[in-house]
Amino acid sequence: MVAAHLVGTGSAFPAPLDQDDLWHGYFHRHFGRSRAAHRIFRTAGVRRRHGVVSPLTEDVAGWSTERRMRRYAEEAEPLGRRAVSEALAAADLDPADVGLLAVASCTGYGTPGLDIRLASGLDMGADVQRLLVGHMGCYAALPGLRAAADFVATHRRPAVLLCVELTTLHLQPPTSDVQQIVAHALFGDAAAAVVLSPEPLRRPGAPPSLRMLDLVARTDSDSAGDMTWEVTDHGFRMRLSPRVPDVLARHLGPALDELLTPHGLTPAGVAGWAVHPGGPKILDTVRRECDLPPQALRPSREVLAERGNCSSPTVLLVLERLRSGGALADGGHVVALAFGPGLTLYAALLRAG
């Protein structure tokens, strides 16, 4: 069977937002000068993030969902185009080479959709197939990656996966709800794209290609209410229960056993970890349950500190950092982990070289 190789990555970000500036310039008033809210912002593991809107200059908390969706349509396409163009250039491919464009997003909707507008704007051709993955949340990149890999293996043509999220458009009205405070302390905006090809990239000096080997999923329906993303009259509102790390801890071991054992691996034999940094407690849980050394999750913590939690693009940003860091030798295995509503865990296994 033809393999699918990750041969190019690209990312794009709107303007940077300093975490301290956000707190002192806006959120300390928004949350009624709450000491608990200040503590959450200080311990979120975020130094800066990015946003298509900044509450320091444009307060969208009272905007209608309609107005937010109009802004999403304006901002998402150019951001996505930059990420896809960068990924294609890294893979030495032209837009016309692409057989499938898959787009994942849970922060905006419209028809014709972002997939249609991007395919047209990038001159991908009228015959390009498209897949739109909506409202799956932070883990959407991994099922999207699997769909793109299956297309490559079946049709022997390259595929592009783009994840783009504009979470800053969903700033909620003032509240004392701790779960809302946590969400506003963590989330930022980004676009991330990957290119999968039936052949590995052989350009000298390029980062190693990553061959897609396997993917598993776990959904704990009994905990479905612990993480939700609800459409309201004032944008989309997140529910993020403090029980989430404990639920993930119950499923992480069995999921990794299912992923690694058929390939003769254990967590100790994995060369690189691309873990979605849903927050510091999520990363601490993964490290504890997998018995990983502190440096194993350094790329995830660096992305959290520099970009925040960007929902679906985040695990791809970690994978990009891991792949370009120079530490992956040929044959080294990589595990990508992401978590989201459902409560859902996805895990993918890739091999370098």
Catalytic residues: 138
Map the chain to HEC letters: CCCCEEEEEEEECCEEEEHHHHHHHHHHHHCCCCHHHHHHHHCCCCCEEEECCCCCCCCCCCCCHHHHHHHHHHHHHHHHHHHHHHHHHHCCCCHHHCCEEEEEECCCCCCCCHHHHHHHHCCCCCCCEEEEEECCHHHCHHHHHHHHHHHHHHHCCCEEEEEEECHHHHCCCCCCCHHHHHHHHHECCEEEEEEEECCCCCCCCCCCCEEEEEEEEEECHHHHHHEEEEEECCEEEEEECCCHHHHHHHHHHHHHHHHHHHHCCCHHHCCEEEECCCCHHHHHHHHHHHCCCHHHHHHHHHHHHHHCECCCCHHHHHHHHHHHCCCCCCCCEEEEEEEECCCEEEEEEEEEC
What six digits make up the tokens of 253?
Answer: 């071991």
